[in-house]
Structure 1
Amino acid sequence: GDKPYLVTSSDDKTIKVWDYQTKSCVASLEGHVSNVSFAVFHSELPLIISGSEDSTIKIWNANTYKLEKTLNYRLERAWCVSTRKGSSLVAVGFDAGNVIFQLGDDKPLLSMDQSGKIIWCKHNEVYHSVIKASDAQVEDGEVLNLSQKEFGSVEVFPNSLVHSPNGRFVSVTGDDEYIIYTSLAWRNKMYGQALDFVWAHDPNYYAIRESKSSIKIFKNFKEKPNGQISLIYEADKIFGGALLGVKSDDSLSFYDWETGSIVRTVSVEADNIFWSDDGDLVLIYSNSSAYVLNFNKDIYQEHYENGDVDPEEGVAESFEVAYEIEDEIVTGKWVGNVFIYTSGSNRLNYLVGGSTYNLAHFDKTMFLLGYLSRDNKVYVCDKDMNVVSYYLSLAVLEYQTVVMRGDLEYADSIISNIDDRDINKIARFLEEQGYTEKALELSTDSDQKFELAIETLNLPLALEIAEKEDSLHKWKKLGDCALTNWKFDLAMQSFERSKDYQTLLLLYSSFNDVEGLKRLAGQCIESGKFNSAFAASWAAKDLNTCIEILKKTDRFTEASLLSLTYKGDTKQVDELVKLWKQDLEKSGKSNISSRILVPGENRDSFPNLQEVSQTLINLEESAPEAGEEHVESAEGAVELEEETKGEAREDTSESVPQEEEVVPETEDVAPQ
């Protein structure tokens, strides 16, 4: 620091601090049991780090010269050490290996009041900045250009700095002391010995933890007559808020600020707690998860007045678990009944009624400064005090809170307070909460509106949006919804616009819509969907189109056989067979080509094609006519099938000579 000191280590097992100007020994630190290999001042923190041949690393307070911590990694003798400037990391070399450890964390010591005034410490120096209303115009995620001014200094090395609830005072703790300063002039208001210091919601109250067995409550800067808390367990830490929280090994106890009596003991190992401003909600963070509890002050007050408070457990009915959160909370703050926090995954989230919503992603660890309702913005900063902001409307938070309470009537009355740019956010929130009709009414986003229209079966609105945007995805989704709800006309219209040829083929075939099938075949041909085109043409009994499709795809074999079997047009068959033969010759299969006969040139081999109109199979008689009376029962269907088979056999026997060729029965022939 700014002191003319140097530190030495020696084989007499001591570390000595010297004033090199006066050449006097300022302090002699004893604690090692063997030769001390090194001793250094930390580059950032007011600490002295020493290492010895006794395998231990000792951390000393550079201001009080008190031993803070002893580390033993069992790597034999310690020989060398290095610290990194601007970091709390320390590297130590031993006989059996190396170790890098961190002293404390990178969380900056800072606090912001409700007017946007920020106070922070760097070492013993205190600085302040002010977020002005004009800074709210900065885009989300951009660093604010804040002026940093020296504000004063503190007599201790601080480990916490917190504004009082009304912003008039600032508490600083460190070196087992606490000091209360005025926030405007930075004058010392109060000081004393304490391991921890916390404010109550009422700025007239605060509490200190003097030791594991002593906690005192103060009012108006004087210790309350009944301010000594009767502890059940040892106090490892205390928390402020609506109630005084005392952490023990595996439990958290809440005490009333006024009476000092126990309110409730919760079996949880709390790392931190956060109270809402009205004192009705408390979030307890513990080991990468958090619990939000409702506190009913009236129930506690009733039990207290009746003398019905358990001296160890308090009033069990006064707290009720609302919901649980699986997330790592770094810093957080309640705004009304909405909890805003930064997470261990470098995100800025806010929590409403058990549902988490993301505001921003970071590429490094960020810390929450607070929320200014005047700007409708959340302010966060990194360890180097680079402050950025993110827009979050207070009207939106209020609306979401009211909806979560189920008071939709009141929510409707305050919807006019919400800015137009936040309406879609509200609509998405309502959708997530199951209020789809209300979300549809408010939404201005066409994609969300379409999805909500589908969900609520508002098909006319969905059709209107689909026609306006002409999106294949929207038409397909509308078609599926219409089909599910028996709206066949709308379904077919939608599938045509979405070019869902397979579904259209199924629908047109089911309705025996010949014109639709022919139209579908043409669309499929234009799109190169020849399989679907052939299936549609076949279902429509459009043999000419079937043959043309086979020709387009160089399927001359199938085209020839199809024409021969179902059309019997000798001229067409001859043309197709010649194309077949030419294709084989191009492929180097002349031997096969020479063995194929052209029917028109070899009539003796095709006795059934003596007449131009003669076919092997009459397609019209192989299937019932369109509009034929539906069969009402399985028995009727079987009878009709047997009659059709019999008629087909009679027609075939009359048209084809039995002694020359056996023609397959109609029902056994199907296109391949």
Structure 2
Amino acid sequence: MRRDFDMADRVLPTIPKEQRTRVAHFLEKQGFKSQALAVSCDPEHRFELSLQLGELKTAYQLAVEAESEQKWKQLAELATARCQFDLAQECLQRAQDYGGLLLLATASGNADTVQMLAEGAERDGCNNVAFLAHFLQGNLEKCLEVLISTDRLPEAAFLARTYLPSQVSRVVQLWRDSLVKSNSKTAESLADPTAYENLFPGLREAFKAEAFLKQTATLRPASDYPLVTPNEERNILEEVENSKPASPTQEATESSKPEEPTTNQFPEITFMADKTLEELEEDLDNLEIDENIDTSDVNLDEDFE
């Protein structure tokens, strides 16, 4: 190859279109991928070349014309690598790649996309992604409904027992109804926690905790993560108790307590500055001692008691 591209541009119009793709493959093998992209007439070949060259606009146009799920996924991968996240999101949506969308939305902290993804995945039957998207947003009621609608009643019962104790009775009844058809004894053995509180200690406290969390739960931005106390370090029951208003008796007791002094009750002690050696010698020289003092009873050898 003489690399005479000016001559090649003049010769190219004389080459039949059905032969240009062969010329493009030849140029690609020689390492001239940009020239091959300009010469090739095969959409598949041009799409592969545009991906290799990072030509996002050309690849996008070819993907729109082809409407291929595989092409959208390939373009989404390239757009993500080039930090073109808006384009990556559009490609993943066109490809209906809900797993990729969930990864992109959670990595970028985009709550609106997570919400849209949850609705779209549930509508298209991608229940795993729908459940996870709802769970990430704290929509526990919708998580429960996803499990119920897909006949995952045992999982729904455990979810309700853990996060939504007020829904346990309803889910247990649905579970019983589904088991009656196949195994009536097993259905009868399922205990409703509200009817057998002795088998489920702490159930009433769980109701209070659920109501407390519903009142205090807020959707916070991802940037607040360092400020949020991890769940494993929280004690919800203590938070419930601390959130209760003080009773009149407690308020009266608190008001009757004497107020602690806010100022220091002890007098401030000030120290004189240390005197210099010359000043001390001068004081000793000027010291007057009374020679008439009786010191006959003083014994310097005795110890102090």
Per the normalisation by structure 1, the TM-score is 0.33
2:88 matched residue in structure 1? 491
1:508 aligns with 2:94: no
Partner amino acid for 2:33?
T
Kindly state the Cα deviation for residue 493 of structure 1 after the two structures are TM-superposed.
1.1
1:545 aligns with 2:142: yes
1:432 aligns with 2:19: no
Kindly state the Cα deviation for residue 479 of structure 1 after the two structures are TM-superposed.
0.4
The 8 Å contact of residues 521 and 533 in structure 1, kept in 2 or not, is answered as yes
1:652 matched residue in structure 2? 237
Q: How many corresponding residue pairs?
A: 241
Unaligned ranges ≥5, structure 1: 1-403, 632-639, 658-672
Q: Which has the higher strand share?
A: 1
Query: More displaced, 576-585 or 472-481?
Result: 576-585
Cα 1:500–1:611, aligned 2, differ >3 Å: closer, same or farther?
closer
Cα 1:444–1:523, aligned 2, differ >3 Å: closer, same or farther?
same
Cα 1:540–1:620, aligned 2, differ >3 Å: closer, same or farther?
farther
**SS in structure 2 opposite 1:628?**
helix
Partner amino acid for 1:653?
E
Cα 1:617–1:424, aligned 2, differ >3 Å: closer, same or farther?
farther
CA distance in 2, matches of 1:477, 1:646: 40
The higher-RCO structure (CA 8 Å, 6+ apart) is 2
The 8 Å contact of residues 117 and 133 in structure 2, kept in 1 or not, is answered as yes
Cα 1:556–1:535, aligned 2, differ >3 Å: closer, same or farther?
same
The 8 Å contact of residues 573 and 599 in structure 1, kept in 2 or not, is answered as yes
CA distance in 2, matches of 1:410, 1:434: 18
Partner amino acid for 1:648?
R
Cα 1:655–1:447, aligned 2, differ >3 Å: closer, same or farther?
same
Cα 1:522–1:654, aligned 2, differ >3 Å: closer, same or farther?
closer
Kindly state the Cα deviation for residue 459 of structure 1 after the two structures are TM-superposed.
0.6
CA distance in 1, matches of 2:67, 2:215: 40
Kindly state the Cα deviation for residue 576 of structure 1 after the two structures are TM-superposed.
1.0
CA distance in 2, matches of 1:440, 1:467: 18
Cα 1:521–1:515, aligned 2, differ >3 Å: closer, same or farther?
same
2:268 matched residue in structure 1? none
Kindly state the Cα deviation for residue 614 of structure 1 after the two structures are TM-superposed.
4.2
| Aligned pairs (5 A) from 1:27-426 | 404-426=1-23
1:628 matched residue in structure 2? 223
Kindly state the Cα deviation for residue 584 of structure 1 after the two structures are TM-superposed.
2.4
Task: Select 1:594's aligned residue among 180, 188, 193.
Answer: 188
2:254 matched residue in structure 1? none
Cα 1:560–1:609, aligned 2, differ >3 Å: closer, same or farther?
farther
CA distance in 1, matches of 2:135, 2:105: 12
Kindly state the Cα deviation for residue 494 of structure 1 after the two structures are TM-superposed.
0.7
Give the superposed CA RMSD. Answer: 3.2
The 8 Å contact of residues 622 and 648 in structure 1, kept in 2 or not, is answered as no
1:452 aligns with 2:49: yes
Kindly state the Cα deviation for residue 586 of structure 1 after the two structures are TM-superposed.
2.2
Kindly state the Cα deviation for residue 608 of structure 1 after the two structures are TM-superposed.
3.2
Q: Deviations over 1:21-80 (max 9, x none)?
A: xxxxxxxxxxxxxxxxxxxxxxxxxxxxxxxxxxxxxxxxxxxxxxxxxxxxxxxxxxxx
Partner amino acid for 1:423?
R
**SS in structure 2 opposite 1:550?**
helix
Cα 1:416–1:542, aligned 2, differ >3 Å: closer, same or farther?
same
CA distance in 1, matches of 2:123, 2:49: 34
Kindly state the Cα deviation for residue 616 of structure 1 after the two structures are TM-superposed.
9.1
CA distance in 2, matches of 1:598, 1:554: 19
Aligned identity (percent) is: 29
CA distance in 1, matches of 2:181, 2:157: 18
Q: Deviations over 1:316-353 (max 9, x none)?
A: xxxxxxxxxxxxxxxxxxxxxxxxxxxxxxxxxxxxxx
Task: Select 2:168's aligned residue among 553, 560, 573.
Answer: 573
1:480 matched residue in structure 2? 77
Which segments of structure 1 move beyond 6 Å, counting only runs of 4 or more? 610-613, 619-624
Cα 1:528–1:646, aligned 2, differ >3 Å: closer, same or farther?
closer
Unaligned ranges ≥5, structure 2: 243-305
CA distance in 1, matches of 2:144, 2:219: 23
Cα 1:470–1:620, aligned 2, differ >3 Å: closer, same or farther?
farther
**SS in structure 2 opposite 1:416?**
helix
Cα 1:620–1:581, aligned 2, differ >3 Å: closer, same or farther?
same
Kindly state the Cα deviation for residue 529 of structure 1 after the two structures are TM-superposed.
2.5
